[in-house]
Chains A and B, each alone.
Chain A
């Protein structure tokens, strides 16, 4: 057999390497999703942590719907990021069904039947947390999950709770983001000087640090009951009674009647055209109309896709900042339409109003706050 020349050997090695690289790419593509190297082929979840995105994905892989995935991921988030959300809170969901209709389920908290007289005089006069039981709204989270699960759920209700019950009971190493947040001295004090310390402090009453284990054994029990008995255990049963008792002990005013009468608000999304795009937003009192107002102003300015130069960027951000200044002046229009003028925010998506405001934006200068109707603005908050 004739011997190969050195250059032929090099070519063979080079070809072999290309084949191997192609094979690796193919394997990755198959694992991640056929043909989608930088994304997924079938379904996906984007939550605030890998753990909760994975739990949502697991539900989808078991034949669950996007709603099952979302509920499971949210329940998980209540343990991984308890500073952000939980079953003591509320949500807004936009759901697009297979025919393209978008419905909004608003189960954000509501004002209880009885609340502290002159509550608003307790509002902070400077930028700080509002702590205490007087600020508690009627939690809507579980009624909302129940409503959307009845319509769109494919997996059994209890199944959605299983992974989170395990996490809450066994515990997890302090999640990196929570650990980062709790390392700030003012957050440490906030936790250590409140009833939160019962679950977020170690046995020395010091807030949990990086290497420690975060556990919610009582929450695991509560979730187990709700998984077995449904949301009624919270709104009509023992869990609700216990919760109300604790709130009363902390000086709050919530009652069983508040829990029993909580209703999920279901309505069509507002649909707003943005050129070739249709944007479906939640109606007031959500921030949807303000978002639509800003994008409505921006859509008719020219954009340089790709890599705009510095001057083009300055111009774009200037228009954007001006649009937001006008949006700040419109924040007062966002109110619960059931309890105020039903149309108080309609102008924010009205093209003639948007065009009028766009004409008020100067190309290279800005104005005093009164120009934007931004008088006595509310404090910002950081969620």
Chain B
């Protein structure tokens, strides 16, 4: 999955998340067209009822646009499967309510609550905070794949701030 946020000089804003689902989709390459095919139907796993033609599977993708009363706009989205929600939520909390710059908000290490409700800490997460959370009884998991990535474009102090997540070695551009 990938995310692209764009803001143009006429005020049009795009928040776009795109995917072929898992890594290289279902690993099926079409030699006649050069296209790598998705494996999106795997997102129906754990469904108990029958699939229906035309149906779209549930997704964590959530390309979002936020706007403040003062006219500020933020286009944000992420990739990383189940980690998308966490990566986006924490970036938004860090930026909007903890007052971090967009860059710092996205770069801050995250805590990922997996589907079994175990908490998993990204490398660099504050150890004192981790210990405090353990003391509250949270079970700690051993998630190895922190592939959470957030890309965002927002207005900040009269300028446009564009941040591509360094976790995927991204870099933004603008003028």
Contact = CB atoms under 8 A, between A and B. Distances in A.
Contacts of B62: 92, 281-282, 286-288, 290-291
A53 to B, nearest CB: 4
Contacts of A46: 4-6, 151-153, 162-164, 170, 172
A152 B93 CA distance: 31
16 contacts: A47-B2, A66-B6, A77-B4, A89-B21, A91-B16, A92-B61, A93-B17, A94-B15, A102-B65, A152-B12, A282-B64, A324-B113, A339-B54, A379-B46, A383-B19, A383-B81
A47 B36 contact: no
A44 B174 contact: yes
Given A46-B163, A303-B93, 14 more contacts: A33-B175, A48-B149, A65-B10, A67-B12, A77-B2, A98-B10, A131-B39, A133-B26, A136-B37, A282-B62, A298-B97, A380-B143, A383-B79, A383-B147
A67 B1 contact: no
A250 interface: yes
Interface in B143-161: 143, 145, 147, 149, 151-153, 156-161
Interface string B42-70: 11111100011111111111111111110
A305 B98 contact: yes
Contact of B64 (A52, A130, A279): A279
Contacts of B126: 310, 313
Interface in A302-331: 303-306, 308, 310-311, 313-314, 316-318, 320-321, 324-325, 327-328, 331
Contacts of B39: 129-132, 135-137
B26 A279 contact: no
A89 B79 contact: no
B174 A139 contact: no
Given A92-B63, A176-B169, A339-B54, A70 B28 contact: no
Interface in B1-44: 1-44
A346 interface: no
A343 interface: no
B20 A40 contact: no
Output the residue of B9, B41, B45, B84 with the most chain A CB within 10 A.
Answer: B41
Given A57-B175, A88-B20, A278-B67, A243 B160 contact: no
A59 to B, nearest CB: 9
A45 B56 contact: no
A247 B28 contact: yes
A281 B44 CA distance: 22
A91 B18 contact: yes
Contact residues on A (Cβ < 8 Å of other chain), bracket: 35 or more
Interface string A264-300: 0100010000101111111011111011001100110
Interface string A47-86: 1111011101100110011110110011001000111111
Contact of B1 (A61, A85, A98, A180): A85
A252 B129 contact: no
A382 B80 contact: yes
A294 B85 contact: yes
Given A134-B41, A242-B33, A252-B28, A95 B22 contact: no
Contacts of B17: 91-93
B164 A47 contact: yes
A233 to B, nearest CB: 10
Contacts of B12: 65-67, 95-98, 152
A114 B32 CA distance: 22
A334 interface: yes
A287 B59 contact: yes
Query: Which 8 A-B residue pairs are closest in the complex by CB-CB distance?
Result: A44-B174, A218-B34, A219-B34, A40-B174, A383-B81, A39-B159, A314-B132, A36-B159
Interface in B57-105: 57-69, 73, 75, 79-86, 88-90, 92-93, 96-99
B54 A110 contact: yes
Nearest to B137: A366
A336 B59 CA distance: 10
Contacts of B3: 48
Contacts of A331: 58, 115
Given A369-B116, A383-B81, A44 B27 contact: no
Contacts of B145: 382
A355 interface: no
A325 B158 CA distance: 38
A242 B28 contact: no
Interface stretch (A10-18, A19-27, A194-202): A194-202
B41 A93 contact: no
A146 interface: no
Contacts of B93: 295, 298, 303, 316, 320
B59 A92 contact: yes
A217 to B, nearest CB: 7
Query: Most A CB atoms within 10 A — which of B6, B61, B63, B65?
Result: B6
B28 A132 contact: yes
Contact of A269 (B31, B65, B99): B65
A10 to B, nearest CB: 36
